[in-house]
Amino acid sequence: PADCAVFQCRGCWTVLGDSLHLCAQEERRLGLLVCFKVTNDVAWEDSLMIGLEGALLGCAYHELSCRSCGSIVGFILYSSSSDLAYLRGFFCFFKDSILCYLLKNQMIIEASKVNFPAVTLKE
């Protein structure tokens, strides 16, 4: 509970998820917080997007958006190269697109500045 946080949309502060459902962090390439569950305020389309450049080049994914303001906040990876395979099927939030409300401190801080305890799906 000391490290608990609520993940909010950077655009409108709608609650999208929380650290209790955090199952991985990816820092190197994409800057992600990866969750296995999100709130009903996270929406995604049935249609797939294909990455044409950058870290998601050649990957198929569903974009995640905030239902309240429509901001793109992340993705659900459908298919990928083997190095990103561990992210398939999970809710991946871009750290640059969300804020964290830290329950213990009652502070809002940029997700890119928060260090959560190490969790990983790779093992």
Give a yes or no: residue 102 inside a domain: yes
Give a yes or no: residue 63 inside a domain: yes
Is pTM beyond 0.75? Reply is: yes
* pLDDT tens profile 4-36: 889 999 999 999 999 888 888 777 778 899 999
Give a yes or no: residue 120 inside a domain: no
Can you give the pLDDT at residue 81? Answer: 85
Instruction: Say which DSSP state 2 is in.
Output: T
Burial 46-69 (b: 16+ CB within 10 A, else e): eeeeeeeeebbeebebbebbbeee
Instruction: Domain of residue 42: give its range.
Output: 5-113
Number of domain units in the chain: 1
Give a yes or no: residue 122 inside a domain: no
Whether residue 117 is predicted with pLDDT greater than 70 in this model: the reply is no
Give a yes or no: residue 123 inside a domain: no
Give a yes or no: residue 119 inside a domain: no
CA distance 111 to 17: 12
Give a yes or no: residue 91 inside a domain: yes
Give a yes or no: residue 28 inside a domain: yes
CATH number of the domain at 76, please.
Answer: 2.170.150.20
Can you give the pLDDT at residue 2? Answer: 63
